[in-house]
């Protein structure tokens, strides 16, 4: 009885661990950084797309551009202060005079659109243009594309389109595996069941072994749990094979079986006697 109790206790433990493992595997990226982004039109579908970007959180992505008028550093951060500038999702800093900074987009005014292997993140409400674009507010578009080989790629500037009357924007590109289509499942249900089965087998073998060795005091092969039973199973299997495969000498098999079975059947009783004082 004691053996059964300790083994079912072990099974319960393994089940709990396995279930937790599966749940943990699903919830690795449920930190809340993307909640810091304010969506212009708060919709659940946009939130879902935004959550796909979670692996990119907590990182300043920077790129330096050289134009005829000067050199600028653009920094992008996901739902956080880019390069430390309050409210800035994308900020442009003049390399010659680092105090001259322009916020291209604020993360409290975010829009996001996503497809199977890309996400387009738009930060609006940046600093207003001085002369271009009807003095509208600047806007940053970050196009994040799937690249399964790159966890977090380099930020690249594609263009600044400001020679138009309305809807000017800065366009950036970034490669990341975060937006790649989710592989159906790293662990299929079948393999989880196999893993749980192996765990249970291990618990059975180790628990049974310890029980036989420490409590029953068995030695040698007898230390295997339910040794007699498994020997009998082995013998029956061998008989089965013998029956199916052998083409002659069928008569000898029953005698062999009888000899093997007799001493084995006695043993469990001996062991039970041993148990009684406990």
Ligand X SMILES: *[C@@H]1O[C@H](CO)[C@@H](O)[C@H](O)[C@H]1NC(C)=O
Member of 34, 109, 176, 212 binding ligand X (CB under 6 A): 109
When asked if residue 2 is in the footprint of ligand X (CB under 6 A), the reply is: no
DSSP state of 208: H
CB within 8 Å of 81: residues ≥ 6 apart: 87, 88
Q: Supply the minimum distance, in Å, between the C-beta of residue 61 and ligand X.
A: 10
The span of 81-89, 156-164, 176-184, 206-214 binding ligand X (CB under 6 A) equals 81-89
Member of 72, 91, 106, 126 binding ligand X (CB under 6 A): 106
**57 versus 260: smaller Cβ distance to ligand X:** 57
Burial (CB < 10 A; 0-12, 13-18, 19+), residue 175, is buried
Q: Supply the minimum distance, in Å, between the C-beta of residue 89 and ligand X.
A: 10
Per-residue CA distances from 144 to 28, 59, 129, 159 (Å): 21, 15, 25, 15
**49 versus 88: smaller Cβ distance to ligand X:** 88
When asked if residue 38 is in the footprint of ligand X (CB under 6 A), the reply is: yes
**7 versus 108: smaller Cβ distance to ligand X:** 108
Distance CA 273, CA 271 (A): 5
Q: Find the radius of gyration of the CA atoms of the chain.
A: 34
**52 versus 106: smaller Cβ distance to ligand X:** 106
Owner of token pair 């674009």: 133
Tokens of 95: 């390399």
Q: Footprint of ligand X on residues 138-177 (CB under 6 A)?
A: none
Member of 6, 7, 73, 108 binding ligand X (CB under 6 A): 108
Phi, psi of 125 (to 5 degrees): 65, 30
Member of 49, 78, 83, 196 binding ligand X (CB under 6 A): 83
Phi-psi region of 195 (alpha: psi -120 to 50; beta: other; left: phi over 0): alpha
**127 versus 239: smaller Cβ distance to ligand X:** 127
Per-residue binding string, ligand X, 48-77, x by CB under 6 A, is: ----------xxx-----------------
**106 versus 139: smaller Cβ distance to ligand X:** 106
Q: At what angle do helices 189-210 and 2-26 cross, to 10 degrees?
A: 150
Burial (CB < 10 A; 0-12, 13-18, 19+), residue 226, is middle
Interface with ligand X (CB under 6 A), residue total 11
Distance CA 150, CA 187 (A): 22
The span of 105-113, 143-151, 163-171, 194-202 binding ligand X (CB under 6 A) equals 105-113
Distance CA 5, CA 113 (A): 55
When asked if residue 268 is in the footprint of ligand X (CB under 6 A), the reply is: no
Q: Supply the minimum distance, in Å, between the C-beta of residue 108 and ligand X.
A: 4
The span of 106-114, 139-147, 201-209, 255-263 binding ligand X (CB under 6 A) equals 106-114
Q: Supply the minimum distance, in Å, between the C-beta of residue 87 and ligand X.
A: 5
DSSP state of 39: B
Contacts to ligand X by CB under 6 A: 38, 58-60, 83-84, 87, 106, 108-109, 125
């Amino acid at each position: 009885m004691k053996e059964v109790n300790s083994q079912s206790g072990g099974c319960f433990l393994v089940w709990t661990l396995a279930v937790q493992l599966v749940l943990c595997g699903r919830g690795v990226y449920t930190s809340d950084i993307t909640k810091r982004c304010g969506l212009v039109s708060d919709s659940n579908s946009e939130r879902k797309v935004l959550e796909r970007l979670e692996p990119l959180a907590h990182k300043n992505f920077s790129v330096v551009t050289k134009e005829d008028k000067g050199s600028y550093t653009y920094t992008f951060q996901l739902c956080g202060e880019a390069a430390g500038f309050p409210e800035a999702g994308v900020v442009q800093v003049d390399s010659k005079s680092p105090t001259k900074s322009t916020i291209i987009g604020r993360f409290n005014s975010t829009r996001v659109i996503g497809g199977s292997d890309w996400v387009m993140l738009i930060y609006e409400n940046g600093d207003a243009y001085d002369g271009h674009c009807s003095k509208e507010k600047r806007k940053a578009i970050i196009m994040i594309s799937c690249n399964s080989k790159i966890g977090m790629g380099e930020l690249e500037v594609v263009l600044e389109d400001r020679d138009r009357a309305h809807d000017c924007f800065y366009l950036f590109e970034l490669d990341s595996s975060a937006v790649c289509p989710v592989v159906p499942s790293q662990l299929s249900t079948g393999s989880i069941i196999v893993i749980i089965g192996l765990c249970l087998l291990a618990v059975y073998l180790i628990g049974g072994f310890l029980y036989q060795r420490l409590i029953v005091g068995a030695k040698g092969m007898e230390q295997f749990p339910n040794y007699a039973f498994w020997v009998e199973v082995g013998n029956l299997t061998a008989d089965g094979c013998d029956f199916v495969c052998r083409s002659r000498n069928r008569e000898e098999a029953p005698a062999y079986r009888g000899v093997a079975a007799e001493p084995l059947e006695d043993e469990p009783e001996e062991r039970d006697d041993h148990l009684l004082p406990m």
